[in-house]
């Protein structure tokens, strides 16, 4: 029996597919932002006068889009870049990023702004209004400007209320003579939380809106390709694996969430390391997808209610995919395997039109995914994928269900 120290040392020294795993974490700021160039350009135009005529007017942008659509990373990349450009123009500019899910009160928000600005505050307790007054004085004394990004702003709006928002965004109403040094980026999943505000404040917030649509499969593929090059050793992640993850999470099939796509890639790599596989495979992605999207496990319960021939088609799909070790299989290959299974079980196979109806229904309930063949395939055909994994477990489950519905295996 191995000693605990030997076990731990062996695990630590085992080979890995990762070169820099941190490049897949949500906190990482990448060098490029594929398919967010237009949003960066919009932000640049909104804040253009902050560099050309600093202090003449407050600038603000409202970033809106679903989870994983690149709002936060785009704001951070923009903040870092515009600070560099400001320095070249001798404009003192700071970018401050506040997570309003963590700092959920007005006091917490202004305190975090002061902390990031390294503002020396008195030791006595101060109100939010007093801290803001110190911030304004601090910026004036140093002829400094700041862009404040309020992330998860919809969460702050619901909890802190309209008075807190009014205080933040209409600060200069009380100081019309001051240089306008506070500028804002409001980052929100949607604009519904603004309904509680008065029309003037709503208009102030959403006048310069930058929208972030969900990523398509093609766009996720480009993002994942960039991250694979940074995070993994060369040759350990095939192009098919990247395309498969992009297809799983792309807006055509799911939510177009880049964060989830990267998490699937990360966990697939960790599974490959645990299995000492030396490379990331499609089966590792299926296992990771079941972990990241636990609703997939509910599909196992759905299978119980499928008719016998739909189960046989699913069984055929799993067999073909396991044999090919690919993400997708042509519907013709699966249909041929289905007919072999029917012959083996002494059952009359359904016609092609009925098979296609099975495919439509199985996709509707989320048991399979489909796409049209493209690069790497001769001719045009429907391709079928089974995203839940591992496939060997799924195959055993289908075997049991087919047996329970009258399928007698020889």
Per-residue pLDDT, 279: 96
Give the whole-angstrom CA distance, residue 393 versus residue 23.
32
Rounded to two decimals, what is the model's pTM? Answer: 0.85
The beta strand positions in 57-121, using DSSP E, are 60-65, 92-99
Which residue numbers in the chain have pLDDT < 70? 1-2, 5-13, 123, 193, 196, 295-298, 374-379, 407-410
Give the whole-angstrom CA distance, residue 236 versus residue 17.
6
The pLDDT tens digits for 113-129 are 999 999 987 767 889 99
Per-residue pLDDT, 378: 63
The pLDDT tens digits for 305-345 are 889 999 999 999 999 999 988 899 999 999 999 999 999 98
- Decide: 398 and 314 in contact? Cβ < 8 Å: yes
The pLDDT tens digits for 150-170 are 999 988 888 887 888 888 887
* Residue among 209, 255, 228, 189 nearest 30 (CA): 228
Helix (H, G, I), strand (E, B) or coil at 35: coil
Per-residue pLDDT, 207: 82
Q: Any idea what the Cα angle at residue 14 is, between residues 12 and 20, rounded to 5°?
A: 80
Domains (range + CATH), the chain: 36-212 (3.40.50.300), 218-292 (1.10.8.60), 298-404 (1.10.10.10)
């Amino acid at each position: 029996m191995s000693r605990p120290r030997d076990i731990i040392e062996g695990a630590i020294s085992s080979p890995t597919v990762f070169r820099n795993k941190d490049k897949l974490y949500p906190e990482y700021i990448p060098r490029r932002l594929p398919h967010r160039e237009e949003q960066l350009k919009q932000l640049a135009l909104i804040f253009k006068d902050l560099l050309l005529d600093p202090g003449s007017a407050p600038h603000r942008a409202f970033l809106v889009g679903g989870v994983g659509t690149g709002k936060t990373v785009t704001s951070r990349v923009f903040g870092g870049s515009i600070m560099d450009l400001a320095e070249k123009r001798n404009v003192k500019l700071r970018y401050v990023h506040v997570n309003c899910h963590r700092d959920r009160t007005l006091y917490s928000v202004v305190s975090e702004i002061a902390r990031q600005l390294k503002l020396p505050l008195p030791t006595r307790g101060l109100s939010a209004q007093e801290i803001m007054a110190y911030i304004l004085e601090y910026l004036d004394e140093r002829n400094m400007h700041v862009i404040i990004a309020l992330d998860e702003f919809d969460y702050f709006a619901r909890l802190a209320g309209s008075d807190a928002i009014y205080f933040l965004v209409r600060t200069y109403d009380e100081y019309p003579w001051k240089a306008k040094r506070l500028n804002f980026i409001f980052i929100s999943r949607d604009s519904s939380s603004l309904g509680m505000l008065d029309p003037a404040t709503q208009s102030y917030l959403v006048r310069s809106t930058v929208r972030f649509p969900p990523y398509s499969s093609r766009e996720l593929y480009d993002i994942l390709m960039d991250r694979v090059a940074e995070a993994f050793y060369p040759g350990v992640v095939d192009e098919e694996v990247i395309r498969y993850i992009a297809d799983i999470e792309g807006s055509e099939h799911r939510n177009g969430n880049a964060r989830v796509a990267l998490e699937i890639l990360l966990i697939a790599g960790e599974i490959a390391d645990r299995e000492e596989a030396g490379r990331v495979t499609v089966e590792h992605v299926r296992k990771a997808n079941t972990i990241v999207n636990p609703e997939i496990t509910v599909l196992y319960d759905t299978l119980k209610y499928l008719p016998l021939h739909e189960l046989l088609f699913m069984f055929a799909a799993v067999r073909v995919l396991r044999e090919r070790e690919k993400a997708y299989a042509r519907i013709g290959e699966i249909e041929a395997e289905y007919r072999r299974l029917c012959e083996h079980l002494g059952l009359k196979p359904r016609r092609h039109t009925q098979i296609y109806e099975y495919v439509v229904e199985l996709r509707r309930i989320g048991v399979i995914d489909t796409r049209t063949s493209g690069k790497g395939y001769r001719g045009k055909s429907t391709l079928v994928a089974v995203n839940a994994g591992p496939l060997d477990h799924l195959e055993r489950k289908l075997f049991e269900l087919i047996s329970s519905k009258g399928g007698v295996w020889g």
